[in-house]
Amino acid sequence: MIKHVEYTPEGVCTQKIIFDLVDGYVHHVQFVGGCSGNTKGVAILAEGLEAREVAERLKGIPCQGANSCPNQLALAIGQALREEKEG
């Protein structure tokens, strides 16, 4: 099953996070805006990994206070997994 996600983060420089969940794995992560090198690095590192693991590893990483683009990706993945489970 493929779920395309477009998430609007809060409290960070990135304006949008886009990715696909394919059978519980993260693919095609894109950050719109934000620190280019950091967000590209996070996107590449998350590629092909199990979504729950990515969310657990990135949750709570600080940058802007207690928030960051990786933390927002973790929240986006968590939300998508909950929606997938409910739907």
Please report, for the chain, the start and end positions of each structural domain, with discontinuous segments joined by +. 2-86
> Each residue of 59-84: pLDDT tens digit?
999 997 999 999 999 999 999 999 99
Instruction: Pull the structure tokens for residue 20.
Output: 């696909």
Confidence class for position 2, pLDDT limits 50, 70, 90: very high
Go through the chain and tell me how many residues it has: 87
8-state DSSP, 68: -
What distance in Å separates the CA atoms of residue 66 and residue 5, rounded to the nearest whole number? 24
77 phi and psi, to 5 degrees?
-65, -45
Burial (0-12, 13-18, 19+ Cβ within 10 Å), 68: buried
> Each residue of 7-52: pLDDT tens digit?
999 999 999 999 999 999 999 999 999 999 999 999 999 999 999 9
pTM (predicted TM-score): 0.96
Burial (0-12, 13-18, 19+ Cβ within 10 Å), 74: buried
Give the pLDDT confidence score for residue 64 in this predicted structure. Answer: 78
